[in-house]
């Protein structure tokens, strides 16, 4: 929502209320944010040059982008509002466009651009799209073939579209593209019927809109022609668009008259034979208000609305995420980077989550928040941040990421040295209105403006060092829970040097929504340490059982974790665990039986510790009652693991009815079978298994002791995975599924 409203401030997590005086909402401007009012400036070639700046802050290096063909900085110019695109087929090829001001004495701007073929370590800026032609609001994107597109606002508030088949080295005009002030566009790169379609929205104010307030258009032929513009319900502005994996279109933005933020959906925009309609329009609470004209950016935005959709094919597929730098409701200064998600196609959204993790201080600015989702589902967020500045305005570029759909976030890291956002203004008191991020599976590509040179310049940084090494996390197992030796027993290891904060859950009734008719009605949870001592227990998560390592009420912490069970009869424990071995035991209250799920979620992914070597033992039956183990590979890079299905080996531990011949399957987050094994001494080729694994299993130190047991070694990318254990020929018995970290 927009600025100055009710009485709630957002806390570090999901926000307890803080009361303040009611603050009247400051109206947002309805006139265009981009307009011609200065003549062209002195030609760039008359200006002085200096070496381009490479700025290092810890392990992070920012490379200046707006440089000439010789790699020199143009002294006395200005550049802001960068938009980045990346070649999906060759990520070393990128292009960035920006508002180019040839002199700070004039706010006349042109469409600057630069390209790199070296992954961002060296940039060349050949010039502008057209000399002495007023242009603003650059937005770049790329398609699946590696073509780049540049959407540019003209002085008359129409836009045109440019295309590059050279990775941004040169651009050719495609043609007029409707549009208006603060336009944005996206390209459908899915395999839906809308593949290749381009969708565009823009503001609807009378002076910056040539279509009577209509603000949406579509091109079905790579931008050559555009449909007659149409209205969008609730007129969202200052936002972005994206599509889900089915080609459904989502638009995020703010209504300038009311301050309400909206998420609008079209499920038929992908049908080129019809005029698109919008079947869903959802008000979104981001915990504050979009603001304009604040002291941190006097004639610009504090942040626009970003919307991005997960198309990873994992458990978070088609999640819709929205983010903005907002001023907390009820306060007149400062801003926070706030995030929400929808897991039901934009019908409902979560409570707002504060991404900047510094203590609440309404004198601080966390501004220009930008959002992107990687192909593997990682969420990347970058923003400017004044937390460390005594004057509350000197800013640094900050970054955080999430590997679990926004439930948990990495500790914030600063990526740049501090800079003064007020110097280098090009006769216009702002450093633009946005920065941009494009994600790939390994890291984020961030384009931003800063004043390290004493003037506004464009920089590129790739925060690979901020990403944690690949590790196992967020483990779960589902099976049929019985009594005695046939309860479910989950084991895991905390490895590393520091404590690991986790939540352990015992889930039963929640499974009924997934078609499980005999779910365990009332699961009870126990946590034991490596010596077997009981250190925590719970029966009904809304009633904390004090004892062992549990010394205070946990209900609020469970609610704020994002993992509160949905049924009151389910159980949960939050624990800060030292490195070592732990066992979670799940049984039914009063010896009841049924299908249940035991889970361990990592609540501190940035700690000096990780989850590893996970295992679960239960009674394996048939059909829905086989054993299903889930785990997540989190971080960056691949994780080498061995997955085992153990049966006969359990007899030496007194298990009389061990599963004689377990069969093992490994599925990815989309449910696709990627590996299988029955008898570890015989490798089953297929999926990700391309060679004989017997020797590797023997050398791993985790070879099963019985030939009838199963094992798979896999090098897994970050994402969700499921291991299924069943008996060959539908045999039943006690089995053990295990995942060992081989790195």
Say if residue 465's pLDDT is above 90: no
Measured between alpha carbons, how far is 401 from 15 in angstroms, rounded to an integer? 20
Which among 485, 469, 421 is positioned nearest to 448, based on CA atoms? 421
Please give the pLDDT value at position 1.
27
Q: Is residue 683 domain-resident? A: yes
Backbone angles phi, psi at 88, to 5 degrees: -65, -20
Q: How many domains does the chain have?
A: 1
State which H helix or E strand residue 84 sits in. strand 78-86
Distance of CA 318 to the CA centre of its chain: 12
Looking up residue 563, the CATH number of its domain turns out to be 2.60.120.380
Condensed to tens digits (0 to 9), the pLDDT of residues 605-659 reads 666 777 776 777 788 888 888 888 888 887 666 789 999 999 988 888 888 888 9
Region 663-688 average pLDDT: 92
Region 373-378 average pLDDT: 93
Which has the higher per-residue pLDDT, 634 or 183? 183
3-state SS class at 360? coil
Please give the pLDDT value at position 46.
42
Please give the pLDDT value at position 635.
67
Condensed to tens digits (0 to 9), the pLDDT of residues 517-567 reads 889 999 999 999 989 999 999 999 999 999 999 999 999 999 988 889 999
Name, in order, each residue with C-beta under 8 angstroms of 385's C-beta and a sequence gap of 6 or more.
356, 358, 364, 365, 366, 367, 395, 396, 397, 398, 412, 414
Half-sphere exposure of 354 (CA within 13 A, CB side): 22
Residue 566 has a CB neighbour count (10 Å cut-off) of 9
Please give the pLDDT value at position 9.
26
At 35, the pLDDT band (50, 70, 90 cuts) reads low
Please give the pLDDT value at position 18.
34
Distance of CA 142 to the CA centre of its chain: 19
The burial class, CB within 10 Å (0-12 / 13-18 / 19+), for 126 is middle
Which has the higher per-residue pLDDT, 499 or 384? 384
Give the N- to C-terminal CA distance of the chain in Å, as an integer. Answer: 46
Condensed to tens digits (0 to 9), the pLDDT of residues 209-242 reads 999 999 999 999 999 999 999 999 999 999 999 9
Say if residue 162's pLDDT is above 90: yes
The burial class, CB within 10 Å (0-12 / 13-18 / 19+), for 59 is exposed
Q: Is residue 604 domain-resident? A: yes
The overall average pLDDT reported for the chain is 89
What are the CA-CA distances from residue 258 to residues 21, 237, 255, 296 (Å)?
Answer: 20, 12, 6, 23
Q: Average the pLDDT over each of 40-49, 133-142, 260-269, 711-720 and give the range with the smallest value.
A: 40-49
Range of the domain at 505: 471-741
Condensed to tens digits (0 to 9), the pLDDT of residues 77-118 reads 999 999 999 999 999 999 999 999 998 988 899 999 999 999
Q: Is residue 594 domain-resident? A: yes
Angle at 624 between CA 622 and CA 629, to 5 degrees: 95
Please give the pLDDT value at position 498.
82
Q: Is residue 510 domain-resident? A: yes
Q: Is residue 14 domain-resident? A: no
Please give the pLDDT value at position 589.
94
At 500, the pLDDT band (50, 70, 90 cuts) reads confident
Region 23-38 average pLDDT: 64
Say if residue 12's pLDDT is above 70: no
Please give the pLDDT value at position 48.
67
Q: Is residue 541 domain-resident? A: yes
Q: Is residue 84 domain-resident? A: no
User: Do the Cβ atoms of 539 and 615 come closer than 8 Å?
Assistant: no
User: Do the Cβ atoms of 329 and 286 come closer than 8 Å?
Assistant: no
Q: What is the dihedral of CA 448, 451, 457, 460, to 10 degrees?
A: -40
Say if residue 369's pLDDT is above 50: yes
Say if residue 501's pLDDT is above 60: yes
Backbone angles phi, psi at 591, to 5 degrees: 60, 30
Q: Is residue 643 domain-resident? A: yes
Show the tokens assigned to 451.
């004043």
Condensed to tens digits (0 to 9), the pLDDT of residues 380-436 reads 999 999 999 999 999 999 999 998 899 888 889 999 999 999 999 998 999 999 999
State which H helix or E strand residue 74 sits in. strand 72-74
Measured between alpha carbons, how far is 207 from 603 in angstroms, rounded to an integer? 49
User: Do the Cβ atoms of 108 and 39 come closer than 8 Å?
Assistant: yes
Please give the pLDDT value at position 2.
29
Strand duo 710-716 + 639-646: pairing: antiparallel
């Amino acid at each position: 929502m927009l600025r100055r409203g009710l009485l709630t401030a957002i806390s570090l997590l999901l926000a307890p209320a803080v009361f303040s005086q009611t603050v009247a909402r400051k109206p947002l401007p309805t006139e265009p944010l981009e307009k011609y009012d200065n003549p062209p400036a002195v030609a760039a070639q008359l200006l002085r040059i200096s070496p381009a700046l490479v700025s290092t802050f810890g392990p992070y290096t920012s490379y200046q982008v707006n440089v000439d063909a010789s790699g020199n900085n143009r002294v006395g110019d200005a550049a802001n509002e960068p938009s980045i695109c990346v070649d999906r087929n060759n990520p070393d090829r990128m292009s960035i466009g920006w508002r180019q001001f040839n002199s700070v004495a004039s706010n006349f701007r042109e469409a600057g651009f630069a390209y790199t073929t070296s992954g961002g370590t060296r940039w060349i800026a050949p010039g502008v799209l057209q000399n002495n032609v007023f242009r603003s609001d650059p937005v770049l994107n790329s398609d699946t073939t590696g073509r780049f597109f540049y959407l540019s606002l003209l002085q008359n508030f129409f836009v045109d579209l440019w295309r590059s088949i050279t990775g941004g080295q040169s651009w050719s005009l495609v043609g007029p593209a409707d549009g208006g002030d603060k336009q944005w566009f996206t390209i459908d790169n899915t395999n839906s019927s809308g593949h290749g379609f381009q969708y565009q929205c823009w503001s609807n104010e009378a002076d910056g809109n040539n279509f009577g307030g209509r603000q949406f258009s579509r091109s079905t032929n790579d931008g050559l022609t555009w449909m007659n513009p149409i209205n969008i319900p609730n007129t969202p502005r200052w936002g972005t668009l994206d599509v889900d994996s089915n080609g459904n279109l989502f638009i995020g933005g703010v209504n300038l008259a009311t301050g309400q933020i909206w998420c609008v959906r079209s499920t038929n925009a992908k049908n080129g034979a019809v005029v698109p309609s919008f079947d869903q329009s959802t008000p979104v609470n981001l915990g504050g208000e979009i603001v304009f004209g604040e002291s941190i950016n006097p004639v610009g935005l504090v942040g626009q609305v970003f919307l991005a959709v997960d198309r990873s094919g994992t458990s978070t597929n088609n999640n819709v995420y929205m983010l903005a730098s907002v001023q907390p409701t009820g306060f007149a200064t400062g801003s926070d980077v706030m995030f929400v998600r929808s897991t039901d196609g934009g019908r409902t959204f979560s409570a707002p989550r504060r991404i900047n993790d510094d203590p609440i201080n309404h004198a601080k600015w966390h501004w220009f928040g930008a959002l992107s989702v990687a192909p593997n589902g990682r969420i990347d967020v970058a923003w400017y941040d004044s937390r460390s500045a005594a004057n509350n305005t000197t800013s640094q570029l900050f970054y955080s990421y999430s590997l679990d759909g926004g439930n948990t976030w990495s500790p914030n890291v600063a990526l740049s040295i501090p800079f003064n956002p007020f110097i280098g203004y090009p006769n216009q008191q702002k450093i633009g209105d946005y920065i941009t991020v494009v994600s790939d599976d390994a890291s984020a590509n961030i384009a931003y403006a800063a004043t390290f040179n004493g003037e506004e310049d464009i920089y590129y940084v790739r925060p690979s060092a901020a990403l944690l090494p690949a590790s196992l996390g967020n483990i779960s197992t589902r099976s049929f829970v019985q009594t005695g030796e046939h309860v479910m027993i989950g084991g895991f290891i905390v490895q590393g040097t520091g404590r690991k904060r986790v939540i352990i859950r015992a889930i039963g009734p929640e499974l009924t929504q997934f078609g499980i008719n005999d779910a365990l009605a009332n699961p009870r949870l126990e946590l034991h340490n490596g010596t077997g001592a009981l250190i925590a227990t719970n029966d009904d998560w809304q009633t904390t059982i004090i004892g062992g390592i549990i010394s205070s009420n946990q209900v609020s912490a469970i609610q704020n974790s994002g993992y509160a069970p949905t049924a009151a009869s389910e159980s949960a424990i939050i624990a800060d665990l030292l490195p070592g071995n732990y066992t979670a035991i799940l049984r039914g209250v009063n010896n009841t039986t049924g299908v249940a799920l035991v889970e361990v979620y990592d609540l501190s992914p940035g700690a000096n510790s990780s989850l590893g070597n996970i295992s679960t033992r239960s009674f394996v039956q048939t059909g829905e009652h086989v054993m299903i183990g889930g785990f997540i590979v989190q971080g960056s890079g691949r994780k080498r693991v061995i997955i085992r299905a153990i049966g006969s080996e359990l007899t030496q531990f007194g298990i009389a009815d061990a599963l004689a011949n377990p069969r093992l399957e490994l599925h990815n987050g989309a449910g696709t079978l990627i590996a299988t094994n029955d008898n570890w001494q015989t490798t089953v080729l297929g999926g990700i298994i391309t060679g004989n694994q017997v020797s590797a299993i023997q050398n791993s130190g985790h070879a099963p002791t019985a030939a009838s047991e199963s094992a798979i070694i896999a090098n897994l990318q970050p994402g969700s995975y499921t291991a299924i254990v069943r008996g060959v020929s539908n045999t039943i018995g006690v089995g053990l599924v295990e995942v060992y970290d081989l790195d």
